[in-house]
């Protein structure tokens, strides 16, 4: 598209200043697109120093959603709990406040987030209360019926094979176990320019239709709206949903 626009304008005569403005406009658009793609890529798979910054930002902006998901798990003493896509896992301490003698297992696609999570939660790791691993986003390398509870927050947009991953979650969950799926609503997410890259957006209805293709039973669905702070310091309304499922 940029090439065809340049070809078209090359046949026209412009003053030097106008030609410069056109090229600046094109360069700006290209730069904006690359920056948006870079943001989307870091949100999906944090890497490098920018990845650490992004992870810290995600933890701060998502903490209410994460706590909401954890609280809906109804954690009991002695539970083994799995989280998919934990980021820097700064919220794990909150999880351990829910009950005694629980074990937390975290799976991440990002090697950087795996390392960050282990560092932030090094005390829980050394006490063999928290276990972190890297996975491919499709296959959960644990035996059948291993976990009492499973949750994930703001990862569904990046699932490469949603039905396969849901079947894996179902497989490793114990009978009558719960899975909490928490995500920001499509109506909000589509207002963010970077979500046009790498993201598959979901409304509550779309997520429910996906779940209906699996053996999971929907226990209940809860939607909330919260105020979140933008990079410019403004507060905007973010609608998010938690769907509680049972095996």
Q: How far apart are the first and last CA of the chain?
A: 49
| Spatial distance between the Cα atoms of 172 and 143, rounded to a whole number of angstroms | 6
Per residue in 96-137, pLDDT (tens digit) is 999 999 999 999 998 988 999 999 999 999 999 999 999 999
21-30, 137-146, 148-157, 213-222: least confidently modelled range: 21-30
Confidence of residue 235 (pLDDT cuts 50, 70, 90): confident
DSSP 41-70: HHHHS--HHHHHHHHHHHHHHHHHHHHHHH
DSSP 8-state assignment for residue 193: G
Positive or negative, the CA dihedral 113, 119, 121, 122 is: positive
Q: Determine the pLDDT at residue 96.
A: 97
Mean pLDDT score, 35-58:
66
| Spatial distance between the Cα atoms of 190 and 201, rounded to a whole number of angstroms | 8
47-51, 66-70, 130-134: least confidently modelled range: 47-51
Q: Determine the pLDDT at residue 37.
A: 72
Confidence of residue 178 (pLDDT cuts 50, 70, 90): very high
Q: Determine the pLDDT at residue 230.
A: 62
| Spatial distance between the Cα atoms of 220 and 12, rounded to a whole number of angstroms | 62
Q: Determine the pLDDT at residue 166.
A: 98
> Taking the model in full, what pTM does it have?
0.82
Q: Which residues pair with 70 in a beta bridge?
A: none
Q: Determine the pLDDT at residue 161.
A: 95
| Spatial distance between the Cα atoms of 77 and 87, rounded to a whole number of angstroms | 25
Mean pLDDT estimate for the chain:
84
Confidence of residue 22 (pLDDT cuts 50, 70, 90): very low
Mean pLDDT score, 72-93:
96
**With 70 as the cut, is the pLDDT of residue 74 above it?**
yes
**With 50 as the cut, is the pLDDT of residue 211 above it?**
yes
Angle of helix 16-44 relative to helix 2-10, nearest 10 degrees, comes to 180
């Amino acid at each position: 598209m940029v090439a065809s626009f340049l070809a078209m304008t090359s046949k026209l005569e412009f003053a030097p200043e106008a030609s410069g403005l056109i090229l600046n406009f094109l360069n700006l658009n290209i730069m904006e697109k690359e920056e948006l793609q870079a943001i989307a890529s870091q949100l999906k798979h944090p890497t490098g120093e920018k990845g650490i910054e992004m992870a810290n930002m995600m933890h701060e902006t998502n903490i209410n959603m994460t706590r909401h998901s954890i609280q809906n798990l109804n954690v009991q003493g002695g539970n083994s709990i799995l989280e998919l896509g934990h980021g820097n896992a700064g919220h794990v301490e909150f999880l351990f406040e829910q009950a005694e003698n629980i074990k937390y297992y975290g799976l991440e696609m990002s090697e950087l987030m795996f390392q960050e999570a282990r560092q932030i939660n090094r005390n829980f790791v050394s006490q063999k209360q928290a276990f972190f691993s890297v996975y491919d986003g499709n296959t959960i390398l644990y035996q059948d019926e291993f976990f009492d509870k499973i949750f994930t927050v703001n990862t569904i947009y990046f699932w490469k094979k949603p039905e396969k991953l849901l079947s894996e979650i179902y497989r490793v969950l114990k009978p009558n176990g719960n899975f909490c799926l928490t995500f920001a609503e499509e109506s909000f997410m589509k207002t963010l320019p970077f979500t046009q890259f790498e993201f598959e957006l979901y409304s509550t209805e779309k997520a429910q239709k996906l779940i209906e293709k699996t053996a999971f039973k929907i226990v209940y669905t809860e939607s909330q709206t919260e105020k979140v702070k933008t990079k410019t310091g403004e507060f905007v309304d973010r609608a998010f949903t938690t769907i509680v499922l049972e095996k």
